[in-house]
Amino acid sequence: MNMHNLELEREFCRRGICSAAELAGALGISQPTLSRTLAALPPGRVHRMGRGRRTRYALHQRIEGLGNHWPLYQIDENGEPSHVAELHALQGGSWHVEQKQPWNTLQGSLFPDGVYPGWPWFLDDLRPQGFLGRLFARCISTEYHVPPDPRLWTPEHILSALLRKGSDLTGAFVIGEDMLAQARLRSASAAIPRTERAGAYALLAESVLEGQWPGSSAAGEQPKFIARTQDTAGRTCPVIVKFSGDMNDPAQARRANLLVAESLANETLLAAGIPAASTEILYDQNRCYLESTRFDRTSAGGRRHLVSLLALDAAYYGDLTSPWFQAARRLEHDGILDAVSAERLRLLWWFGQCIGNSDMHYGNISLHLGSDWPCQLAPVYDMSPMALHPRSDGSLPTHLPTVLPPPPEEADAFERAADLAADYHGRLRSDPRLSSSFKTAIDNRST
């Protein structure tokens, strides 16, 4: 390697991403000499981004055994894949999304050239998280040399997992040719006849609890697994199934009540014209199962991409603790969320407050991400009176928290949410599947 090459490598290490003028000036060489120096580096060592005056350069970061760039595919609602972009790992920890199709949402005002200072935000929900994410990490940690705790994973660990086990994760994006091939095979895999669900779900629940990974790392702390069901006409339905433990245990009986309550919340919202997952409650071997139709999948074997409010807000605002109604206002103001979705997000916040949902963090609401802004709010999920969830010591809460009054500008949304909550509480009181202690707690409020 000649002196110019050594100096060039050092300059890239110091600056990260550079323009040709910056490199030539730092090295004290002409533009033609710089061009010859860049061309003399090993093939693929330098990655060029942008065109004309916006052209910039960076060194590729090779990830051991995996390369330094990979195709990013989107699977559409009909199950057809398209090559959306090429994902490049850059030295210094940055990533470049080199678009092959126009997706304005993959760039946006903060990332106009598709360069991200860390793992791209719209892929962040693919990282393992929650109950299944921890199980997934433990199952692959030895084989793929990644930490058994997914909270310790670097972007390189995430990519390593996605290139090997990322065929059926949340949303519509798949990284790498191998995972695309597996995704297409999975969409045609065998489904569980709906008449045989209870027994099949019992086996799947036992497998998950024994530490066997069920093939997806959907987020959330509730024990769950992913499945596909099929009716007598041959129609398939991708589902996600949460389950309780043995309902002879008071804490597990309360968890079962909360699963029923979540199903009734979705029924209440659907009856009011608010999109929510279609659900069904099943019982088998003294366990309760909440089956929810996946809204990031279609019956045709297709997919719809989702991003959590957590991933989006972390990238654009970094305000991860303000109420959903405040997030709705800033997202609508900036053209990220459409007006109808923003209004619905505000309503859902107040509905959750009225029913005692104490778990309304930004990971529990998602948006459908398409190629252009604004996004649309995805159907609601994880909506239940989580204030009644068993405490860590196993004791059971006996009342809901007091509902704080809304600011004046939220009065209309709050009033409609309160009406929906009254309807919901009526459904809870009349449902024979719920225990008397749960119904009593629903009627009790802190003072």
| Rounded Cα gap, residues 270 and 274, in angstroms | 5
| Rounded Cα gap, residues 427 and 421, in angstroms | 10
| Rounded Cα gap, residues 73 and 27, in angstroms | 39
Contact between 137 and 120 under an 8 Å Cβ cutoff? The reply is: no
**Cβ-based neighbour number of residue 322 at 10 Å:** 13
Contact between 273 and 291 under an 8 Å Cβ cutoff? The reply is: no
Give the side-chain half-sphere CA count within 13 A for 102: 2
| Rounded Cα gap, residues 324 and 319, in angstroms | 11
Active site residue 359: yes
Q: Which residues pair with 337 in a beta bridge?
A: 375
| Closest to 157 (Cα-Cα) out of 291, 65, 237, 258 | 65
Contact between 224 and 132 under an 8 Å Cβ cutoff? The reply is: yes
**What does residue 348 show for φ and ψ, rounded to 5 degrees?**
-65, -35
**Cβ-based neighbour number of residue 14 at 10 Å:** 10
Helices (H), 296-410: 309-316, 324-333, 339-355
Spot the catalytic one: 76, 334, 359, 423: 359
Active-site residue numbers? 359
